[in-house]
Amino acid sequence: MMNKPEIITSRTNKKIKDASSLLSSRERKKTGLFICEGARLCADAAQNGVEIEQLFITEKAADTYREAFCSLGKAAKQTFFIDESAAEKLSDTASSQNIFCVCRKKNDPRSFESKGFYLLTDNVQSPDNLGALARSSEAFGAAGLIVCSGCDIYSPKALRASMGALLRFPVFVRESCAEAARELKKLGFSVFGSVPDKNALDVRFAEKGEKTALIIGNEGAGISEETKKECAGFVTIPMAGRAESLNAAAAGAVLLWEFTGRNDMYGGFYGKHS
Amino acid sequence: MMNKPEIITSRTNKKIKDASSLLSSRERKKTGLFICEGARLCADAAQNGVEIEQLFITEKAADTYREAFCSLGKAAKQTFFIDESAAEKLSDTASSQNIFCVCRKKNDPRSFESKGFYLLTDNVQSPDNLGALARSSEAFGAAGLIVCSGCDIYSPKALRASMGALLRFPVFVRESCAEAARELKKLGFSVFGSVPDKNALDVRFAEKGEKTALIIGNEGAGISEETKKECAGFVTIPMAGRAESLNAAAAGAVLLWEFTGRNDMYGGFYGKHS
């Protein structure tokens, strides 16, 4: 039986200040901790082996999200009831569920799978794009996502946009995308870059082998020159009209669909097109 | 030759206040005006027959974006130089280019095309999603986008996320998605709903006729019951893993790709799959 939690009624309380500092990526880097907001995301963390240091929750939220409260209360090392002003200080959303966990960052999965499809992001900056790419990678059965610099995978916005996929799914963090590409190549993977360039290979005709990786570049600058040198080739999504490019998350979804969901995952219904 | 523009050096100036009020959708509704920010977006407006009432620009931006300044100066009924504090008041971005146009909302295109692919959004709320869907619709050669309630197409965030597609591309605004679906059906279009439901028709097997429309629903609630009644059928994107759904913009990109880009636009390379 859990003891009656301590009640925090001040937004200047040290524990609240420490937890809210995790809304900044610098503090997350320094401490190795991050903050999860919302019943669903906190539950995703708990169910996926993420260590939960602290649970902060308003009494009302504990009542509303009773089930989440019980399981998180068991998983967390410490539980605190907080009032709404403290909750506001921890929240990154417009309408908060007033339930927060301070978690320890996960270790990377030990190693890459010996086959499958990997998506790499080379300095993708937008947390919305990163989150959506993680969500699509999971939905289309990729083997994993390799996030190379750019947006922090523990950004509250990215976690939300991923609907928890960043916590559930095999996500690797690397400083250098070129280095990650070399790692994959050593394992026998073919590494392709995606580019908005009519002269690149139409993605429909790309070989969809069982050891393939694809790089999505930065929203403005695309794939870095250093990373491009590691690519076996470049694929593109043909476009009409005056559009010059797609949003990174939209392009990623279509590429994932072509390389995994559409072709292999369901028994390659249409056969290999290449 | 343009006269030397009036210079506004106060953020409380009435013209600045009126223009900045257009950052709110209520004021946009009341006045029939909207505000564009950035050299590229303003140029997109001017090049696509949008009436430009006022151009606001800092002297530095006029120098940096000389070409845009010249053509916008010609297009705009009035031009004002502003200082940086006034620019800050007009800006919706973190790092502004300090160039703004107050524009008159466009009229809807007169009527639907007699064939092609239409994407409908039924109460899509996120400006990022709406913008990305417009961008993907244009990129994949859809005939147009029909925005039914939800996010205002003139939201500064939506305009930015669309990279101007909301201004370039045939976009229709409708109150009721069910009513828009009926309009299309009268013209002989097949109207499908997209749903995250394993029992719906796998999008790969859906008939890709030349008069097809597809509805993307609200991010949380999906397609409304009223709108569902107008659908000839429901398609879905098969998913793996624990993902329950895709981000609306990601799902929209894949569906657009399947219905237009992948199949018809390039001569139906793979033939009809259904």
Q: Is residue B10 part of a domain?
A: yes
Secondary structure in 3-state letters for A207-234: CCCCEEEEEECECCCECCHHHHCCCCEE
Please tell me whether residues A142 and A189 are part of one structural domain. Answer: yes
Please tell me whether residues A65 and A176 are part of one structural domain. Answer: no
Q: Nearest CA to CA, how far is A16 from chain B (Å)?
A: 28
B41 touches chain A (CB under 8 A): no
pLDDT band of A11, cuts 50, 70, 90? confident
| Among A141, A245, A249, beta carbon nearest to B249 | A249
Tell me how many degrees the CA angle A25-A31-A33 measures, rounded to the nearest 5: 75
| Position A163, amino acid | M
Looking at B69, B104, B139, the residue that finishes a domain is B104
Q: Is residue A135 part of a domain?
A: yes
What is the pairing mode between strands A78-82 and A52-57?
parallel
Q: Nearest CA to CA, how far is A171 from chain B (Å)?
A: 14
Please tell me whether residues A26 and A91 are part of one structural domain. Answer: yes
Tell me how many degrees the CA angle A164-B122-B183 measures, rounded to the nearest 5: 155
- Cβ atoms of A259 and A194 within 8 Å: the answer is no
| Interface predicted TM-score (ipTM) of this complex, two decimals | 0.90
State which H helix or E strand residue B173 sits in: strand B171-174
Say if residue A198's pLDDT is above 80.
Answer: yes
pTM, two decimals, is 0.91
Mean residue pLDDT of chain A comes to 91
- Residue-level pLDDT at B266: 44
Q: Is residue A271 part of a domain?
A: no
Task: List, for residues A18-48, the tens digit of each pLDDT value.
Answer: 999 999 999 999 999 999 999 999 999 999 9
Q: Is residue B109 part of a domain?
A: no
Mention every residue, 6+ apart, whose C-beta is less than 8 A from residue B106. Answer: B48, B49, B50, B167
Please tell me whether residues A133 and A206 are part of one structural domain. Answer: yes
Task: List, for residues B24-76, the tens digit of each pLDDT value.
Answer: 999 999 999 999 999 999 999 999 999 999 999 999 999 999 999 999 999 99
State which H helix or E strand residue A27 sits in: helix A25-31
Interface test with A, best of B95, B97, B140 (most A CBs within 10 A): B140
CA atoms within 13 A on the CB side of B174: 24
Looking at A104, A131, A156, the residue that finishes a domain is A104
Q: Is residue B201 part of a domain?
A: yes
Please tell me whether residues B129 and B183 are part of one structural domain. Answer: yes
* Tally of domains within chain A: 2
**Would you say the C-alpha torsion A210, A216, A222, A225 has a positive or negative sign?**
negative
Mention every residue, 6+ apart, whose C-beta is less than 8 A from residue B233. Answer: B192, B193, B200, B201, B206
Chain A residue with minimum CA distance to B135: A246
Percentages (nearest 5) of helix, strand, coil residues in chain B = 35, 20, 40
| Among B138, B238, B262, beta carbon nearest to A242 | B138
- Cβ atoms of B170 and B144 within 8 Å: the answer is yes
Tokens of B269: 């390379």
Please tell me whether residues A145 and A248 are part of one structural domain. Answer: yes
Whether residue B247 and residue A165 make contact (CB cut-off 8 A), yes or no, is no
Q: Which domain holds residue B33?
A: 6-104
Q: Nearest CA to CA, how far is B246 from chain A (Å)?
A: 6
What is the DSSP secondary structure assignment for residue B204, as one 8-state letter? Answer: G
| Among A239, A249, A270, beta carbon nearest to B139 | A239
Looking at A77, A104, A131, the residue that finishes a domain is A104
Tokens of B249: 């913009």
Task: List, for residues A209-266, the tens digit of each pLDDT value.
Answer: 889 999 999 999 999 999 999 999 999 999 886 667 899 999 999 999 999 878 754 4
CA B44 to chain centre: 13
Q: Is residue A49 part of a domain?
A: yes
- Cβ atoms of B211 and B89 within 8 Å: the answer is no
Please tell me whether residues A50 and A155 are part of one structural domain. Answer: no
Q: For residues B216 and B119, give the distance between their C-alpha atoms in angstroms, rounded to a whole number.
A: 7
| Position B37, amino acid | E
A254 touches chain B (CB under 8 A): yes
What is the pairing mode between strands B116-122 and B211-217?
parallel
Instruction: Say what angle helices A39-47 and A66-75 make with each other, to 10 degrees.
Output: 40
Residue stretches of chain B with pLDDT short of 50: 1, 266-274
Q: Is residue B110 part of a domain?
A: no
- Residue-level pLDDT at A89: 95
Q: Is residue A269 part of a domain?
A: no
Please tell me whether residues A87 and A131 are part of one structural domain. Answer: no
- Cβ atoms of A243 and B246 within 8 Å: the answer is no
Tokens of A78: 């410490």
Which residues 210-229 in chain B show a CB within 8 A of chain A? none
- Say which CATH number the domain at B176 has: 3.40.1280.10
Please tell me whether residues A225 and A139 are part of one structural domain. Answer: yes
Q: For residues B37 and B61, give the distance between their C-alpha atoms in angstroms, rounded to a whole number.
A: 12
- Cβ atoms of B56 and B83 within 8 Å: the answer is no
Whether residue A243 and residue B135 make contact (CB cut-off 8 A), yes or no, is yes
